[in-house]
Structure 1
Amino acid sequence: MKEALKAGSDGRFDLPTGTVYPALHRLERAGLIAGEWSVVEGRKRRTYQVTPMGRQRLADERTNWREFAAAVTSLLEPDPWPATH
């Protein structure tokens, strides 16, 4: 999981293992993801899937994030018509 985050973000998210797994456990307890164990090449591996409730929460949070990001962007962009003093 840690490696997938790092690869999927072009190295921008290189989180310590102690951060990733507690977050996964919280998401699973909240019913937003479901995990299952499997054996791959003789090693136990836990995989996670987003639940229907998790997909809905993700859609809601994406909307909130986009609104927040747009507000921050509007504050950071230079004013095209600066006030004259």
Structure 2
Amino acid sequence: MLDDERWAGHVQELRRGTVVLACLAILGRPHYGYALLETLEKAGFSVDGNTLYPLLRRLEKQGLLTSEWNTDEARPRKFYKVGPDGEELRDALMGEWRALDGSIRALMEEDPDGRP
């Protein structure tokens, strides 16, 4: 049986590979960083701020996100939104995600116990 630490490591590795897709999926509408963290958390997708904020900056630098400062409130907030290239990547990644999901489901149906 897997111990908690090894299990958590594998779950973290799986989630790490999907953080970009999750962000691109949510950022069809503008969000600021903390609101994005909360939205991900409510969806059961826990991400640390030390992971999210550098990711947002990287995606913006790659031209996948656009950002705009909102200074209407006491504390300025940087809002992020998916740009055209980000939409294209999101759609492509969703297609890959669905294909992988279908492949894994097919493999599990071949042997419900998951044994080769």
With the length of structure 2 as denominator, give the TM-score of the two structures.
0.60
Of 89, 92, 102, which residue of structure 2 is paired with 1:57? 89
Deviations 1:17-71 (A, max 9, x none): 1011111111101101011111243111010111111111111111111101100
Following superposition, the deviation at residue 5 of structure 1 comes to 1.2
Q: What is the rounded CA distance, in whole Å, between the counterparts of 1:79 and 1:3 in structure 2?
A: 38
Larger strand proportion, structure 1 or 2? 1
- Gaps spanning 5+ residues in structure 1: where? 81-85
Percent identity for Structure 1 against Structure 2:
35
Provide the secondary structure at the position in 2 that maps to 1:14: coil
Larger helix proportion, structure 1 or 2? 2
Match of 2:19 in 1: none
After superposition, the Cα gap between the structure-2 partners of 1:75 and 1:40, relative to the gap in structure 1 and judged at 3 Å, is farther
Amino acid at match of 2:50: G
Provide the secondary structure at the position in 2 that maps to 1:77: helix
- Gaps spanning 5+ residues in structure 2: where? 1-35
Q: What is the rounded CA distance, in whole Å, between the counterparts of 1:15 and 1:40 in structure 2?
A: 27
* Pair 1:42-2:77 in alignment: no
Larger C-alpha radius of gyration, 1 or 2? 1
Amino acid at match of 2:85: M
With the length of structure 1 as denominator, give the TM-score of the two structures.
0.80
Q: Runs (4+) of structure 1 moved beyond 6 Å?
A: none
Alignment size in residue pairs: 77
Higher relative contact order (CA 8 A, sep 6+): 2
